[in-house]
């Protein structure tokens, strides 16, 4: 039954007798996996392993083989149909995701971040979930509230936390402006023609909800409390994304901006709409036992509004026994902006969608200086924190995502260019085993290589459908025999077993050539690229683990790698506990008195090693 009014909810009663899943002590111990629900699984796959590891042979969609590659492009009509399918819902749902929790657990994932699941406007193909029409209902194409609850239960039974992607800044395209349907921001407030009905026409009066004459549930905006016209700023579309207050009060394209209040940070006056949204998101925590929220477009919210929401969520969840409920903010504008926003609002962490993905990708491919990446985590002068500590649990790191704002109009997954398929495991390892909370974008563990002039091309369907990865259709990608999946699972298991790799300090290490061993320097680009072993250490208490990738795709690189001078003595032995060259695992090297202390170590071509 649809929930129409927040006033009908009794949140206190909902949480009084429930035993909720506790928060983790340290979120930096977790490995996140971000998936777009519509693109992940429809539950009809054949030849995958269920949550218990048993082979399922009852589905209709076979597992992908190389023969399926580009089978959707055989004719121009096929190619057009494939491209057009990517702009529409393709059928992923909550039941399908619940069936793939075992796939994620065996990979080493311990927290799933799911794209928005709430009911979307009826007349647009907002498969991505960011066009919400009803904040209190699950999008019917994805399932229903009980299926969300079942998914969370299955995830928790397998030790996996569930993070929902939520929107506070805006609703979907729920009303139309009078006259010009797409006015631009000028600072003035525009009149609304009416709330949009299920066909997108403004036939519903733009007035406060009347309990005796509520509109049809597929029109306007819900819960009914949000139907007050004062919910929306009504200032038209943002044109200048850096102009204040335009980016704070303008519409996000045709998504309608919600007014949160006004005033300075310490004296912020919260709007009724923000109060209502707080109750909405309390409800989903109480109902489904959610473990955290990823908050969309924090840049476009007043700091006072963000702080208020964070405070309300913290108090509500601590009262439920979730002492460390995770609140991840999408904060664009660089590290300084992220630091200031976190400090002033109390958000748990920032999503590193600016320079971190760029440096991760192009360092691995040999086109960025290693220090450019590692220095992102040690700018203590900027953040006024200890160099190697603050970022440990304050930033979620990833190299691919569903928007790729950094790449402009031409989107491309890591494997699309520069022989990325040869070093995809390296970038996954670098992301997982350096500072921050690592996040895998769905399909990276299968080497997805989507690219093109639209977001859809980096949002391929894992379950095949009409818009499968590798320009295919009708074949799924839940392949646990894929070498990238298998090797990443080994790496993440090593991370899980070693607190050093989850919480340790981090140091980019100087190197020296095998024939030298006297002159050491940090690895760096020469002539616009770097083809070298790139080592770094994680140090925790009295233990050091040394890791290295090789940005030379074609040749192994043997170099002297610097170690912590105080933790080692000449003659100590380091053992290889992981290598992309399996023959190297178990081999030992001896520590020598060079540049303090160092060891001569080989990193395989386009490979990765771990020594302890």
Are 51 and 158 a contacting pair, CB within 8 Å? yes
Q: What is the pLDDT of residues 449-504, one digit of tens each?
A: 999 999 999 999 999 999 999 999 999 999 999 999 999 999 999 999 999 999 99
Give the C-alpha separation, 293 to 172, whole Å: 19
Are 478 and 55 a contacting pair, CB within 8 Å? no
How high does pLDDT run on average in the chain? Answer: 95
Beta strands in 427-491 (DSSP E): 437-441, 451-452
Are 423 and 365 a contacting pair, CB within 8 Å? yes
Give the C-alpha separation, 590 to 216, whole Å: 74
Domain spans, the chain? 29-167+293-319+327-496, 504-611
Q: What is the pLDDT of residues 37-56, one digit of tens each?
A: 999 999 999 999 999 999 99
Q: How high is the pLDDT of residue 332?
A: 76
Count Cβ atoms below 10 Å from residue 127 Cβ, excluding itself. Answer: 25
CATH entry 2.60.40.1180 includes domain 504-611: yes
Q: What is the mean pLDDT of residues 65-80?
A: 98
Confidence of residue 382 (pLDDT cuts 50, 70, 90): very low
Locate 526 and state its tokens: 């020469």
Give the C-alpha separation, 316 to 165, whole Å: 18
Q: Which fold has domain 29-167+293-319+327-496?
A: TIM Barrel (3.20.20)
Buried/exposed code over 519-540 (b: 16+ C-beta within 10 A; e: otherwise): ebeebebeeeebbbbbbbbbbe
Which residue in 251, 269, 250, 255 sits closest to 307, CA to CA? 269
Phi/psi at 508 (nearest 5 deg)? -70, 130
Give the C-alpha separation, 222 to 125, whole Å: 19
Q: What is the pLDDT of residues 496-547, one digit of tens each?
A: 999 999 999 899 999 999 999 999 999 999 999 999 999 999 999 999 999 9
Q: What is the pLDDT of residues 21-41, one digit of tens each?
A: 999 999 999 999 999 999 999
Q: What is the pTM of this model?
A: 0.97
Q: How high is the pLDDT of residue 510?
A: 98
Buried/exposed code over 477-487 (b: 16+ C-beta within 10 A; e: otherwise): bbbbeeebbeb
Q: Provide the CA 36 distance to its chain's centre, in angstroms.
A: 10
Q: Name the DSSP letter for residue 7.
A: G
Rounded (10°) angle between helices 420-432 and 355-364: 130
Q: What is the mean pLDDT of residues 76-100?
A: 98
Give the C-alpha separation, 390 to 370, whole Å: 20
Is 194 strand, coil or helix? strand
């Amino acid at each position: 039954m649809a929930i129409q009014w927040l006033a009908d909810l009794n949140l206190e009663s909902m949480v009084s007798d429930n035993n909720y899943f506790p928060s983790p002590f340290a979120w930096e111990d977790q490995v996140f996996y971000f998936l777009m629900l519509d693109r992940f699984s429809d539950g009809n796959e054949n030849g995958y392993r269920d949550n218990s590891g048993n082979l399922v042979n009852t589905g209709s969609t076979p597992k992908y083989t190389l023969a399926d590659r580009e089978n959707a492009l055989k004719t121009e009509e096929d190619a057009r149909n494939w491209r057009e399918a990517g702009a529409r819902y393709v059928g992923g749902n909550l039941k399908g995701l619940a069936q793939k929790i075992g796939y994620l657990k065996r990979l080493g994932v311990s927290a799933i971040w799911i794209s928005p699941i709430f009911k979307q406007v009826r007349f647009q193909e907002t498969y991505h979930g960011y066009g919400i029409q009803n904040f209190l209902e699950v999008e019917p194409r994805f399932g229903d509230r009980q299926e969300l609850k079942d998914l969370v239960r299955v995830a928790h039974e397998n030790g996996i936390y569930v993070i929902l992607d939520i929107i506070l800044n805006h609703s979907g395209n729920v009303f139309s402006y009078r006259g010009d349907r797409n006015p631009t921001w000028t600072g003035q407030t525009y009149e609304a023609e009416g709330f949009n009905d299920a066909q997108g026409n403004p036939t519903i009066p733009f007035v406060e909800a009347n309990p005796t004459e509520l509109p049809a549930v597929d029109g306007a905006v819900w819960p009914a409390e949000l139907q007050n016209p004062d919910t929306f700023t009504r200032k038209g579309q943002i044109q200048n994304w850096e102009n204040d207050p335009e980016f704070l009060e303008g519409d996000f394209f045709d998504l309608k901006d919600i007014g949160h209040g006004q005033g300075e940070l310490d004296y912020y006056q919260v709007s009724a709409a923000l109060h209502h949204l707080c109750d909405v998101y309390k409800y989903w925590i109480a109902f489904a036992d959610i473990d955290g929220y990823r908050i969309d477009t924090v840049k476009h919210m007043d700091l006072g509004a963000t702080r208020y929401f964070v405070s309300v969520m913290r108090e509500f969840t601590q009262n439920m026994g979730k002492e460390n409920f995770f609140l991840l903010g999408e904060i664009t504008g660089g590290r300084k902006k992220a630091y200031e926003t976190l400090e002033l609002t109390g958000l748990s962490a920032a999503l590193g969608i600016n320079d971190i993905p760029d440096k991760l990708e192009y360092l691995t491919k040999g086109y960025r200086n290693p220090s450019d990446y590692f220095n992102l985590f040690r700018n203590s002068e900027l953040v006024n924190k200890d160099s190697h500590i603050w970022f440990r649990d304050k930033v979620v790191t990833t190299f691919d995502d569903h928007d790729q704002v950094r790449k402009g109009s031409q989107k491309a997954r890591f494997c699309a260019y520069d022989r990325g398929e040869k070093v995809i495991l390296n970038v996954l390892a670098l992301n997982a085993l350096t500072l921050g909370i690592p996040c895998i974008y769905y399909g990276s563990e299968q080497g997805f290589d989507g690219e093109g002039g639209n977001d859809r091309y980096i949002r391929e369907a894992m379950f095949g459908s009409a818009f499968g990865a590798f320009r295919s259709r009708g074949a799924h990608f839940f392949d646990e025999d894929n070498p990238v999946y298998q090797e990443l699972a080994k790496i993440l298991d090593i991370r899980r077993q070693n607190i050093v790799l989850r919480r340790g300090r981090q140091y980019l290490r100087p190197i020296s050539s095998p024939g030298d061993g006297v002159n050491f320097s940090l690895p760096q680009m020469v002539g616009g690229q770097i083809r070298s072993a790139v080592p770094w250490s994680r140090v925790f208490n009295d233990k050091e683990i040394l890791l290295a990738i090789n940005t030379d795709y074609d040749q192994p690189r043997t170099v002297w790698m610097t170690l912590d001078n105080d933790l080692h003595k000449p003659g100590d032995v380091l053992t290889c506990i992981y290598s992309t060259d399996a023959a190297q695992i178990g081999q030992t090297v001896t520590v020598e008195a060079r540049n303090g202390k160092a060891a001569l170590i080989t990193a395989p071509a386009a490979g990765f090693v771990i020594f302890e």
